[in-house]
Amino acid sequence: MATRRDPIADPATALAERYSAVRKLTLDLAAPLSDADATIQPFPDASPAKWHLAHTTWFFETFVLRDHAAGYRPFDERYGFLFNSYYEGEGERHPRLRRGMLSRPSLDDVRAYRTYVDDALLTALGSLSEAALDLIELGINHEQQHQELLLTDILATFAANPLEPAYSPALARSEAAEPAGDWLPGRTGIVQIGAADTGFAFDCERPRHRVFLHKHKIASRPVTNADWQAFVADDGYSTPTLWLSEGWDWVRRESIAAPLYWREDGTHFTLAGRVERDPAAPVAHVSYYEADAFARWTGARLPREEEWESAADAVDPASGQQLDRAEAMIPQPKTDLFGSVWEWTQSAFSAYPGFAPAEGAVGEYNGKFMCGQFVLKGASCATPRGHSRASYRNFFPPHARWQFTGLRLARDC
């Protein structure tokens, strides 16, 4: 877990305010949804919105209230089985593939569950131990991750509906021209990466350690929709020499010919419904396989995790287009390292030297997934502002693309 919160005068009060704000935003994000909308699971990697609302609540109930609040009585003993995700230490759970079969509890029942747990936690907060406060901090950051997942999962849900409903109207489209592309020299030699010892970070971001960077350059902007359209027009999806072997098998097996949600008429499906693609905006919803093939097509490569993190070390992680309130977010043109889309790196998600997972069930949070995943850096238009940082290690398997995933190129000097 490795929370290591900064000391402040009244940590319980500040934590209560953050907790309440994050919990309210999750409810706001779900407000446009009907019970039916919130129940559907479009494919196994996605989860129903109702499940996200309940699972994040189960996290606080299980790891904070049950273990640290004397006399706490669970809202419903059956919910532990329904809303555990992958914590083997917490016992059996409802199969992930069948989360969309949970017509009950209703959306209103889940909202009542959230209210019950919120009231109990805020009441107990002043008497909780430091270890329990650390778990609340972890739970807040965990819920922010699920806020992004809730949005991307409802996007997948609505995209599967022939009516193509809109989650909500979009923000006004940016009129910005496509940012000029340039190559910026990266740092060389020995640098430090990973989270510092103070402040919140997930366990996989630590310990901070030294790495050696060879001479390289990194692109000043991410790859845009216009860039990707040129790749499509040049038969990038039908040129096997551009693809990793697994990627080429995936392209042929799944009949992949464009980013997820694209159509040949120049539109793509978004949280605001089907809209015209902005050529200047960063391409989104591409897999690692696609990002790697595109980089080969350009004669460049994807950046390594340490190269990207080093470039972002002095950048404000709250910059760029990120989630501030409940509204339809569509990636906008950017040069920022943060915001709009997460950026694939060529680095596998693996343990840093000296990594040690937390004790107990919460130690299953990241370490157990350090196999077959690649690191993404930055933040997206659906990432709650203030949640990310240069050391943040998002990760997905190479075929995943229902998230707001894009890329920025790098090359050796």
Q: Where along the chain do its domains lie?
A: 11-159, 183-412
* Alpha-carbon span 169 to 384, nearest angstrom: 19
Q: Residue 148 CB: number of other CB atoms within 10 A?
A: 25
* Contact call for residues 32 and 326 (beta carbons, < 8 A): yes
Predicted model pTM: 0.95
* Contact call for residues 317 and 379 (beta carbons, < 8 A): yes
Q: Does domain 183-412 have CATH number 3.90.1580.10?
A: yes
- Helix or strand run (H / E) with residue 375: strand 374-378
Confidence at residue 173, expressed as pLDDT on a 0 to 100 scale: 61
* Alpha-carbon span 38 to 31, nearest angstrom: 10
Class of the CATH domain delimited by 11-159: mainly alpha
Confidence at residue 365, expressed as pLDDT on a 0 to 100 scale: 81
- DSSP for 227-273 reads HHHHHHHTTGGG-GGGS-HHHHHHHHHHT--SSTTB-TTSEEEETTE
* Contact call for residues 101 and 82 (beta carbons, < 8 A): no
Confidence at residue 175, expressed as pLDDT on a 0 to 100 scale: 63
- Alpha-carbon distances, residue 187 vs 88, 89, 205 (angstroms): 42, 43, 20
Confidence at residue 7, expressed as pLDDT on a 0 to 100 scale: 52
* Alpha-carbon span 327 to 272, nearest angstrom: 9
- Exposed / middle / buried, residue 187 (Cβ in 10 Å: 0-12, 13-18, 19+): middle
Confidence at residue 279, expressed as pLDDT on a 0 to 100 scale: 95
Secondary structure (3-state) at 153: helix
Strands 405-406 and 342-348: parallel
Sequence-ordered strand ranges (E) for 14-96: none
Residue in this structure with the two tokens 């273990």, named with its chain if needed: 67
Give pLDDT < 70 ranges for the chain. Answer: 1-9, 170-177
Q: Residue 43 CB: number of other CB atoms within 10 A?
A: 12
Secondary structure (3-state) at 208: coil
* Contact call for residues 370 and 351 (beta carbons, < 8 A): yes
Q: Give the count of alpha carbons within 13 A of 93, CB side only.
A: 17
Secondary structure (3-state) at 300: coil
Q: What pairs with residue 193 in β-bridges?
A: 209
Confidence at residue 396, expressed as pLDDT on a 0 to 100 scale: 98
Q: What pairs with residue 191 in β-bridges?
A: 211
Q: Residue 395 CB: number of other CB atoms within 10 A?
A: 20
- Alpha-carbon distances, residue 381 vs 119, 221, 283, 311, 320 (angstroms): 31, 16, 12, 20, 8
Q: Does 183-412 match 11-159 at the fold level?
A: no
* Alpha-carbon span 344 to 78, nearest angstrom: 39
